[in-house]
Structure 1
Amino acid sequence: MTTDDITREAAAADERAALEQAVTEKVIASFADSTTDRFGRLMASLVRHLHAFARDVRLTEAEWEAAIRFLTDTGAICADKRQEFILLSDVLGLSMLTIGINSPPDRAVTESTVFGPFFVDGSPHISLGGTMSAGAAGRPCFVGGRITDEEGVPVAGARVEVWEADDDGLYDVQYEDDVTQARGHLFSDEKGGYRFWSIVPSPYPIPDDGPVGRLLRAANRSPMRPAHIHFMVSAPGFRTLITHIFVAGGPHLESDAVFAVKPGLIVEFAQQPPGRAPDTDVMATTWYRAEFDITLARAEA
């Protein structure tokens, strides 16, 4: 290749880059008169980064078409009991990144993690010390702790929503019988205490029979999540906390498909012998106990 050839190729590459950048700038300019400054900023940044990605990987038309089909399939599989776009956000780490960006700066408060796709409004109310398992398969487990603010002051009357998978790794909404199991809500007492009976959670795969599953298989990634119980804790004057507790020593803690594990949320589920147990009759079999204290952040004024 001669010097002239190299010069011509460099000039052609510069011209192509200029034309590509002109497209990006024209699209960004189209959002200059957006109805709000925030919307305009979001869209300009989205276009800038999206176009930069396409240039970086030199996106082919076939790959663009495959991406459109993937997003179309993702929308098509969504239903009232399945949100594939949340699942996609989870496995790409976007959910956890957004949670981190919006988390309170105070490290004393309980850490947040992903919401997950299996929350359902209208869970049954359970009394303090009551059971939420409602017949779900699993080993009996007693969970309790205190809810306080950053100064250690008890938060009375906090609403504690809890839900989890059964021993087969399935949530109640994944069954077809419309039975509500392993979910409920309760309220903390005057000392901030909460407690309930449930079952020891089990590891399970995220739904992988759709587009997100295809993505994971293409990446040779596992769909497994470590065993956990979901919490959503709310109280007037405080930021709502969405978090999990994970079973210490369980599998998949280092390879959670949705990147949600944090060291401060790993809790010992200690095996207990048959005999006396809190808020219930004498247990004829072994049971488990988990203690999880919760610190809420004050809502911003």
Structure 2
Amino acid sequence: MTRYFSEADSVETVNARVAPDADPRLAQVMSSLVRHLHAFVKDVTLTEAEWGIAIDFLTHTGQICSDTRQEFILLSDVLGVSMLVDAVNNRKPAGSTPSTVFGPFHVDGVPEREMGSNISLDGVGEACLFEGQVVDMDGHPIKDAIVDVWSDNADGFYDVQQPDIQPQHNNRGIFRTGADGRYWFTGIKPVSYPIPDDGPVGQMLCHLGRHPFRPAHMHFLVSAPGYHRLITHTFVAGDSYLESDAVFGVKAPLIVDFEALDTTQDGPRWRAAYDFVLPPST
């Protein structure tokens, strides 16, 4: 039956055009998207001018994206969508380490480093020893776990944001645990920083009266055969942005006390100890 568009039947009219042989999952997702999007337009009585602004916003969001900047990830992050997608896809048993947002600054191809290496290639910042264990749900160490880490520098920028200033792979490293499941490396004590706010997402936050800052954190991607991959951070206890993280990434179990070490001795000024607990993948 031919169905002509009307306000009352907008959802049914659009969704009726989906072919019967379309991929079932795609049809489910798109039908739900249409239903919720049309409900939003009707709920706020969206004006043509407002829709034009939205199209312009999305256009500029795409135009600012590059090999080293993903504005759409930032948009997803600040709207809480990244954390929600993470939550519904990482419903893990109690006692396992919580996950959080991946973020836009992970880099593939970082070299594996010898355990205990210093990932601060420019030597700028307050040196910090990061250490702990990767264990299973029963507390047994996991051998050959890959611990992929990255953080900002002392000025709050990742190396990919400053390719002409920072060495490549600065404050990044990949480590492999031994039979004891332990990891340790030296980096710097992370600092809080604003997400890139010179684009459409930053302008949106400004109009909403929201700040762009993330609390200080170290990124971890921990994986091992037979276990769920973990994407998470450890956050610096006491940071002023813990309760207002621009991307909603903070979870209480991930907040870590950074212990001040004896600064009269050579070596790191801080120590951050944290154990990662991975559930089995089956």
TM range (shorter): over 0.9
Alignment partner for residue 231 of structure 1, among 211, 220, 226?
Answer: 220
Q: Which runs of 4+ in 1 moved over 4 A?
A: none
What residue number does 1:7 align with? none
* Cα separation, 2, equivalents of 1:220 and 1:41: 36
Q: How far apart, in 2, do the equivalents of 1:58 and 1:207 lie? A: 32
Structure 2 equivalent of residue 289 of structure 1: 271
The CA distance in 2 between the partners of 1:81 and 1:34, in whole Å, is 38
Residue 196, structure 1, aligned to residue 193, structure 2: no
| Equivalent residue in structure 2 for 1:76, among 55, 59, 63 | 63
2:167 is matched with which residue?
179
Contact 1:31-1:43 within 8 A present in 2 as well: no
- 1-side partners of 2:119 and 2:198: how far apart? 29
Counterparts of 1:108 and 1:97, CA distance in 2? 20
Q: Deviations over 1:216-274 (max 9, x none)?
A: 00101000000000000111111111000000011100100000000000001110013
Which deviates the most, 108-117 or 175-184?
A: 175-184
Query: Larger Cα Rg: Structure 1 or Structure 2?
Result: 1
Aligned-pair Cα RMSD in Å: 1.4
Give me the whole-angstrom Cα distance separating, in 2, the residues matched to 1:192 and 1:169: 30
Q: Which runs of 5+ in 2 are unaligned?
A: none
Please report the TM-score for the alignment, with normalisation by the length of structure 1.
0.89
Q: Which of 149, 163, 168 lines up with 1:162 in the alignment?
A: 149
Task: Give the whole-Å Cα distance in 2 for the aligned partners of 1:34 and 1:87.
Answer: 35
Partner Cα distance (2:207, 2:12) in 1: 34
Check if 1:112 corresponds to 2:112: no
Which of 184, 200, 208 matches 1:219?
Answer: 208
CA deviations 1:63-122 (Å, max 9, x no partner) are: 111000100101111111011101000000000001111113302110000011111111
Letter in 2 for 1:157: D
- CA–CA distance in structure 1, aligned partners of residues 84 and 112 of structure 2: 32
> TM-score, normalising length from structure 2?
0.95
Contact persistence 2:190–2:216 (CA under 8 A): yes
Return 28-37 or 231-240, whichever deviates more: 28-37
How many residues are treated as equivalent by the alignment?
276
Partner in structure 2 of residue 64 of structure 1 = 51
How far apart in 1 are the matches of 2:86 and 2:220?
15
Offset from partner CA, 1:28-82 (integer Å, 9 cap, x none):
1112525221111101000000000000000000011100010010111111101
Over residues 124-145 of structure 1, what are the superposed CA-to-partner deviations in whole Å (9 max), with x where a residue is unaligned? 3221111111124210000000
Are the equivalent residues in 2 in contact too, given 1:143–1:195 (CA < 8 A)? yes
CA contact (8 A) 1:34 1:40 kept: no
SS in 2 for 1:144: strand
Residue equivalent to 1:5: none
